[in-house]
Every structure is written in structure tokens, then in C-alpha cells.
Amino acid sequence: MFYLEFPQNILGYIAFRIYNKNNEQSYYKYKDACITHIPGRWGAISLSRFIFADDVYFKSEMIKHEYGHTLQSKKLLILYLPVIGLPSLIWNRLFKGYRLRNKKSYYSFYTESWANSLGGFEEKVNQYKEGSKN
């Protein structure tokens, strides 16, 4: 049902082609997903089967969490971006102060806790690490 994962599958594919045009060694397969390395310290993002990760996330356990978003895309299909993608982005970018003030984990939000349980990623207890995650 990959073709029904619209438009995140198309966006992911285009980004995958752009970032792998010159360097074919910059990605690896994880299950049925492609993990592409994009240098820097910006976090990670999942667009259907295409996952993009920075220097920190590329070969880390966090890929399990990102793959959880891939599984959400498979379940929600066309609803993925409005139900998960957009709320996740807003939670990531605009609620950092709220999380720090209230000692809320980044993974307490439904988009993130669901991705963790689907992907089999376990957050370390009392870890309120803040960064750029999607």
C-alpha cells in the first residue's frame, strides 16, 4: 500500500534522490526503510520509508523511533501528515519551553510515544534531553 502513503512517500523519494545523487554510500537499509545521512546537527525526520538523519541519529538507536513514524505512515496513509507529521513538528519546534518548564519528556506527546512503542524504542528514565527530533 506504499502508493497510498501520499504525499509523504513522494516527498521522501524526492529528498532521497536529491541527497543520494552524488554519494551512494550515504544511506543504509533498516527493515524496509532507507536511512539517509544528512550531515549536521538537526535531528531526524521520517517520510514514509525514507528516513533522514543527522550525524548524531544516523547510526543510533533513535532510528527505531524514526521507523516507528514509518509504521505510523503505513497505518494512517494519507492522514499521516495531518495526524502525525504536522502536530509532531509543532510539538518539536514550539513547545520546547513548555517541556522544560513542566519537565515533560519529548516522548510524552502522542505522536512520539506511539512511534516509540511501534518502533520498539525505549526512552531512558528521567532523560529530559532536548534536541531536534521529529
Which residue type does 102 have? N
Binding mask 90-119 for Zn ion (x = CB under 5 A): ----------------------x--x----
Residue 87 beta carbon to Zn ion: minimum distance, rounded to whole angstroms: 11
Residue 22 beta carbon to Zn ion: minimum distance, rounded to whole angstroms: 28
- Can you read off the three cell numbers belonging to residue 89? 513538528
Q: Which CB atom, from 34 or from 68, has the smaller least distance to Zn ion?
A: 68
Q: How many residues make contact with Zn ion (CB under 5 A)?
A: 2
Residues found near Zn ion in the complex (CB under 5 A): 112, 115
